[in-house]
Amino acid sequence: MEKRSADRRTVWLILLTIIFSAAVLSGAVMYRQQLEADGAKETAIPDGIPKMSWDKTRSEESMLELEAYFYELKPKVAIKNSPDFEWKDICPDHFWVKEFTVTTYKNSPYKVYNFTYIDGAKDNKKMAAAIESEAQDIINIALAKDSDIWNRILTVHDELIRRIYFVSDDNGDGNTRNLYGALVEHRAVCQGYAYAFSYILKKMDIDVSEIYSDEHMWNRVGSLDSGERYIDVTWDDYNNQDSSGRPYIHHDFFCLSKAEMEHFGEHNPEKNIQPKESDPQSAGDNYYTKMGYYIKSGDQMSFNACALQQYQSGKNLLEFRFESPDDYKQAEEWIRSILPALGYSEKYYTYKKDELLTFSAGLYPPADAE
Side chain identity at residue 298, one-letter code: G
pLDDT tens string 61-99? 988 999 999 999 999 999 998 776 676 678 788 989 988
Q: What percent of the chain has pLDDT over 90?
A: 60
Banded pLDDT at 283 (limits 50, 70, 90):
low
DSSP string covering 246-275, please? -EEE--TTSSB-HHHHTTSGGG---GGGPP
Of 264, 238, 96, 259, nearest in space to 180 by CA? 96
Q: How far apart are CA 120 and CA 132, in angstroms?
A: 18
Q: Of 23-27, 66-70, 104-108, 361-365, give the lowest mean pLDDT range.
A: 23-27
Higher per-residue confidence, 269 vs 130: 130
Query: What local confidence, expressed as pLDDT, does residue 107 receive?
Result: 76
Which amino acid, one-letter code, is at 263? H
Instruction: Return the SS3 of 180.
Output: helix
pLDDT in the model for residue 223: 78
Check whether 244 has a pLDDT greater than 70: yes
Query: Average model confidence (pLDDT) for the chain?
Result: 83
Please count the other Cβ atoms lying within 10 Å of the Cβ belonging to residue 42.
8
The confidence score (pLDDT) of residue 43 equals: 67
SS3 label, residue 119: coil
Type of residue numbered 55: D
Q: What is the residue-wise DSSP string for 141-175?
A: HHHHH-S-HHHHHHHHHHHHHHH-EE-S--TT-TT
Q: Residue 188 and residue 237: Cα distance in Å, rounded? A: 11
* Residues belonging to the chain: 370
From the CB of residue 317, how many other CB atoms can be counted at a distance below 10 Å? Answer: 22
Question: Most confidently modeled of 41-55, 68-82, 170-184?
Answer: 68-82
Q: What are the phi and psi torsion angles at 204 (to 5°)?
A: -100, 15
Residue 113 has pLDDT above 50, yes or no: yes
Closest CA to 283 of 274, 270, 292: 292
- b/e per residue, 235-253, with b = 16+ CB within 10 A? bbbbebbbeeeebbbbbbb
Q: Is pLDDT above 70 for 186?
A: yes
Phi and psi based region of residue 364 (left: phi greater than 0; alpha: psi -120 to 50; beta: remaining)? left
* Helix (H) / strand (E) containing 326: helix 325-329
Q: Which residues contact 195 (CB under 8 A, 6 or more apart)?
A: 91, 92, 95, 177, 178, 179, 182, 210
315 touches 306 (CB < 8 A): no
pLDDT number for residue 369: 67
Q: Coil, strand, or helix at residue 32?
A: helix
Please give the DSSP secondary-structure letter assigned to residue 221. Answer: E
Report the pLDDT averaged over residues 2-11.
Answer: 40
Question: Do the Cβ atoms of 234 and 218 come closer than 8 Å?
Answer: yes
Tell me the β-bridge partners of 318: 361
Number of H helices, E strands in the chain: 12, 15
pLDDT at 40 over 70: no
* pLDDT at 251 > cutoff 90: yes
Amino acid 213: pLDDT: 86
Confidence of residue 30 (pLDDT cuts 50, 70, 90): very low
pLDDT, position 269: 65
pLDDT band at 171 (very low <50, low <70, confident <90, very high): low
Q: Average pLDDT for residues 270-292, to the nearest whole number?
A: 64
Peptide bond into 50 cis (omega under 30): no
Mean pLDDT of 155-164: 98
* pLDDT on residue 266: 81
**Range with the poorest average pLDDT among 8-17, 149-158, 328-337:** 8-17
The pLDDT score that the predictor gives to residue 65 is: 93
Q: Mean of the pLDDT values across residues 257-274? A: 72
Cα 5 to chain centroid distance, Å, stands at: 78
Q: Can you give the pLDDT at residue 86?
A: 72
